[in-house]
A and B are shown apart, each in its own frame.
Chain A
Amino acid sequence: MYYFCAMKIAWQLFITFFKIGAFTLGGGYAMLSMVEKAVVDQKKWIASDEFWDLIAIVQSLPGVFAVNTALYVGHRIAGKRGALAAMLGAIIPSIVIILLLATIFREYRDLPVVERIFKGIRPCVVALILAPSLRMIKSAKLNWKTVIIPIVTVALIWWLKVSPALVILAAITGSLIYALIINRKAKKKEVEP
């Protein structure tokens, strides 16, 4: 009986995340409200505050945000089986749709009409990558010292062709030291007053 219930919840998790994966345009944050609606409001699998605590942690993890959300929510609700079911639900629609589109696109890419359309699209894609990065820099509230970080990063990758993976590893090391110092300061403050 228990086994049957667990399987049923895993299946429902799969279906829930499948729907979200198939219909959410616009990436991670658009998806969150749909997940909340399904998991917190409709199915009542998890309380609202617990859900947002979980999301706060998920946001700081590496990897695909939607996949991580599916994994952690799925794991919280139905253990390992739930995590796997939710993850598969989140990615299968993407895989199917892209396989279809890639097949079609590779077939018709060389048609003059398609080439004309994509000639217009490519500079737009560049703008769509530059805009969020600048918005991110703005929201990071840099001062005259930390503003050097994005500048150095750009120079390393764009100009010197350093691998972004290496840059991230270096940044993690730096941030970890920074985070440890902040933590220690916070602890001292707790003790002092």
Chain B
Amino acid sequence: MIYLQLLWAFVKIGVLGFGGGYAMLSLIQHEVVDHYAWMTTTEFADMVAISQMTPGPISINMATYVGYTTGGFAGSLLASFALCLPSLIMVYFIMKLISSKKSGALMSNLLKGLKPAIAGLIFAAGLTMMNTQNFVQIGKGENNISIVICVLAFVASYFFKANPILLILLSGAVGFFVY
């Protein structure tokens, strides 16, 4: 049963995952945290950090991680494969269409229209993770460090395009010394 759920969840994510790894993150979050409740938001945040810091595509990393925690070794293989399955099927059909430039233009216009919605999707995923489990003891005087870390990391990432791995390592160090 768990294998069927993993298969269905990740095939769906593979079909609807437009716009890169972070867009998929919001789909994965919905399935894993809200729908099936396989993980808490804290575990999800930890998984994102680990997937971000390791080489390879972030969504494959997350699929493997989710599959492993829910269905062991077989689950990890199944989830990663399920995520790739729609792409694998599509490649044969698209390669035949590719010769016509028209369909390419249509697809890129489609993506242009999708972009603002995908951006909203990702933003909502971030907001959902901004809760009391991930932000420790908000409002309790000296414990606003979580917010400080978040704001500083945001500024570094948004305005200075700082390396995300470096930011994760730095905030890990802050956590180690502060808590």
A: residues with CB less than 8 A from B are: 21-28, 31, 54, 56-57, 59-68, 71-72, 75-76, 80, 83-84, 87, 90-91, 93-95, 97-99, 101-103, 105-106, 109, 113, 115-137, 139-140, 142, 146-147, 149-154, 156-158, 161, 163-165, 167-169, 171-172, 174-176, 178-180, 182-183, 186
Interface size classification for chain B: 35 or more
B178 within 8 Å of A by Cβ? yes
Chain B residues with CB below 8 A from A83, complex form: 88, 91
Q: Which of A25, A61, A140 contacts B87 (CB 8 A)?
A: A61
Q: Is the CB of B149 within 8 A of A164?
A: no
Q: Given the interface contacts A24-B56, A133-B122, A153-B124, does A63 sit within 8 Å of B175 by beta carbon?
A: no
**Which residues of B, 105-158, contact A by the 8 Å Cβ criterion?**
105-130, 134-136, 145-147, 149-154, 157-158
Residue among B22, B61, B83, B116 with the highest chain A CB neighbour number at 10 A: B116
Chain A residues with CB below 8 A from B136, complex form: 119
Q: Which partner residue on chain A sits nearest B25 by CB separation?
A: A129
Q: Given the interface contacts A125-B129, A158-B127, does A60 sit within 8 Å of B42 by beta carbon?
A: no
Chain B residues with CB below 8 A from A84, complex form: 88
B46 to chain A, nearest CB (A): 6
